[in-house]
Structure 1
């Protein structure tokens, strides 16, 4: 049983009036190595997805945060782009989906006060006095370095209406080959508040597991309708590998070790954190452990204002393996945007019979898993981690509606639930 994550690149065309800011990727992506610790969610809630109700106005906000490891001050500007359900730019003018103007400057920033780590922390809150959205749907937030005229960050976010009622149930798969390793969902969409002429062809559903767009099941259409209710229960249609509970480590304090942290060495250059030796879990029985379903939380216990007081520590990962795989091995999670990145690649040590890798992490709590990158660029977690039906996962259901003749996809409902 194998589980693959696809990373889909979608390249934008020239931006009218700002032609120097082209070639952005319509996905969660970091373009420059000096940009670290990118967070995007509800203000004050790090373990939240960037989904906001269109009716909240300023009572509900999203906050983007990131660190520039080159330090000093830079002029960063931002742009918001409306997208269709497949994350291509919508056929709309900015004036049709935005109240305000793009390319405003990010003016909230602070310099690091940690003696071991130099960086500048930037924050952007949306909506704000300069910009707000007018319609629901998929949106892309793009951050640019104005001086160098390059993109540095892109983040997906969602603006939702609450028009439909979403029902859901989770069960063991009907496909006997996936019975013990996967989780299957059945859905129902009640649209009694909205007249839809052709529900089976105008309603599309996307389902995400643990906020991971790379494994999302998209463009799901209903199986049949009864009255105002659309049912989604086709055989093996909405089925996800159940995975295992996430591995994790906690470095909110660098003065003492925590569970899964073997040792912390500190010198005049900073801190090195050695995690416990990891072992493969493919053949291990299911064990219920508490985790954050792929999230990470930036925080330190020693000082206030963790955004600028936290240290970047060198974290050492090891995985016991009596053989070297043909594929490259990575650690992945929310911190890596579920992507294979060179910073998180491990190398095989023939002498010690293990994989080892070192990466910089800002103080906090992190969930992660090991994944092999196959020849076609996909990520496979199952070979190292395994998958078991009882695993606890978060699911998010997105309901899109495009009426015949309309120029954009409305997001008319969102539902979050846990498999337990």
Structure 2
């Protein structure tokens, strides 16, 4: 077992262009991708002020709807902002589902107001489940079985049952995970079992995602249907810490991140507002500012 630490920017590695980046760590011998991390580099110019309007939907599912609303205080000397600025929202760190804010108001001289269209709200009660994994060798209330002598230790969780599994409370961070960054921290292979409300075909694309995967959809976390147990099963190698996670559907290449939720979840949602500027001299979109809010 070994751990590697690398900090950047540093004197040998600096960023010249702002924007969105993907860090990929591979095994040099096999080419196997070991780790990926989405991050962004912002120029930190101007200021974004945001809030969330919460409403109940009028359909038969009665889900809450979130409408982020933001103001961008313009920096000086920004060329033709009404033509060159673009605004996006990202919910709960699902970067692949960034949504462009198309309701723009440039009527005020020193700021821009932006928001989503009324027919494009975010789901305000997306569910997240919690896994406390502070010690992978000791029995816990959420562990059905533990094999501490294995390397890495193996942990089987109790079933997650759609509509009955405990989610994070409304006052808790929605998708935050806290990995234990210590040289003595251990890893474990954690086995998940999921029981959806509806009977789904065995070839349904159900994926496990969470803080351990940086909320990305990866083939290694695809759930398989176990006919003997009548459960969907999957596993993940995780470091000691505390994790938020969820089950999602992938349909026609698109992630449906609410199809397997409890309809009455009270979890708190997290948003990022991103401001891009199409620079006519540099021929790319600069990331001017990012604002995180709930």
Say whether the fold is shared (TM-score over 0.5).
yes
Superposed, 1:1-400 pairs within 5 Å as 112=1, 120-141=2-23, 143=25, 155-172=37-54, 176-177=58-59, 180-191=63-74, 193-218=75-100, 220=102, 222-233=104-115, 235-236=117-118, 239-281=121-163, 288=169, 291-299=172-180, 306-307=182-183, 309-321=184-196, 323-325=199-201, 326-374=203-251, 376-387=252-263, 391-400=267-276
| Cα distance, 1:389–1:221 mapped onto 2, change above 3 Å | farther
Partner of 1:106: none
Does the Cα contact within 8 Å between 1:136 and 1:160 map onto a contact in 2? yes
Structure 2 stretches lacking a partner, 5+ long: none
The structural deviation recorded for 1:181 is 3.1
Task: Give SS of 1:125's match.
Answer: coil
The structural deviation recorded for 1:332 is 0.9
Q: What is the number of equivalent residue pairs in this alignment?
A: 291
The structural deviation recorded for 1:292 is 4.4
Task: Give SS of 1:267's match.
Answer: coil
1:411 to 256, 271, 287: 287
Q: Deviations for 1:271-324, whole angstroms, at most 9, x for unmatched residues? A: 22121221112x99997356543343322xxxxx734x3333221211224733
Q: Taking CA–CA contacts closer than 8 Å with sequence separation of 6 or more, which of the two structures ends up with the larger relative contact order? A: 2
Tell me the distance in 2 between the aligned counterparts of 1:188 and 1:132. 30
Tell me the distance in 2 between the aligned counterparts of 1:263 and 1:150. 30
| Cα distance, 1:324–1:413 mapped onto 2, change above 3 Å | closer
The structural deviation recorded for 1:128 is 1.2
Q: Deviations for 1:64-120, whole angstroms, at most 9, x for unmatched residues? A: xxxxxxxxxxxxxxxxxxxxxxxxxxxxxxxxxxxxxxxxxxxxxxxx2xxxxxxx3
Tell me the distance in 2 between the aligned counterparts of 1:278 and 1:259. 14
Tell me the distance in 1 between the aligned counterparts of 2:293 and 2:177. 19
Tell me the distance in 2 between the aligned counterparts of 1:132 and 1:167. 29
Tell me the distance in 2 between the aligned counterparts of 1:167 and 1:261. 42
Tell me the distance in 1 between the aligned counterparts of 2:228 and 2:29. 48
Partner of 1:95: none
Task: Give SS of 2:49's match.
Answer: strand
The structural deviation recorded for 1:234 is 5.5
The structural deviation recorded for 1:390 is 5.1
Does the Cα contact within 8 Å between 2:128 and 2:175 map onto a contact in 1? yes
Taking only aligned residues, the RMSD between alpha carbons, in angstroms, comes to: 3.4
| Cα distance, 1:382–1:166 mapped onto 2, change above 3 Å | same
Tell me the distance in 2 between the aligned counterparts of 1:408 and 1:287. 40
Does the Cα contact within 8 Å between 2:103 and 2:114 map onto a contact in 1? yes
Task: Give SS of 1:397's match.
Answer: strand
Deviates more, 1:288-297 or 1:246-255: 288-297
| Cα distance, 1:334–1:268 mapped onto 2, change above 3 Å | closer
Does the Cα contact within 8 Å between 1:159 and 1:411 map onto a contact in 2? yes
The structural deviation recorded for 1:237 is 6.5
TM-score (norm 1): 0.59
